[in-house]
């Protein structure tokens, strides 16, 4: 006659700590700002050459656009 085997249970793991929503928001926005700064400086470089004024202006405009773009992503993803 077959013997009953004791059922093996999986050990319980402690919960994984969650990243707070505020930190997640700032990470998304900062990544978008950095990406758009690089994108804006690249456009300014190809459009106007190596002039410092144009590159700085392109970076500032890219940072502003990146902030608003990242903020819209945060609003869309983190609705609660």
Tell me, what DSSP letter sits at residue 80? -
Query: Helix 21-48 crosses helix 52-77 at what angle (to 10 degrees)?
Result: 150
> For residue range 41-73, what is the model confidence (pLDDT) as tens digits?
998 888 887 788 888 888 999 999 999 999 898
Do residues 45 and 62 make contact, with C-beta atoms less than 8 angstroms apart?
A: no
Q: Average per-residue pLDDT in the chain?
A: 83
Measured CA to CA, the distance from residue 32 to residue 68 in angstroms comes to: 9
Task: Give the residue extent of every domain in the chain.
Answer: 21-77
């Amino acid at each position: 006659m077959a013997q009953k085997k004791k059922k093996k249970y999986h050990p319980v793991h402690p919960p994984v700590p969650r990243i707070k929503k505020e930190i997640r928001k700032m990470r998304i926005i900062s990544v978008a700002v950095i990406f758009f700064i690089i994108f804006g400086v690249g456009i300014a470089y190809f459009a106007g050459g190596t002039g410092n004024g144009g590159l700085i202006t392109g970076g500032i405009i890219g940072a502003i656009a990146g902030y608003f773009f990242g903020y819209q992503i945060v609003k869309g993803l983190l609705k609660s």
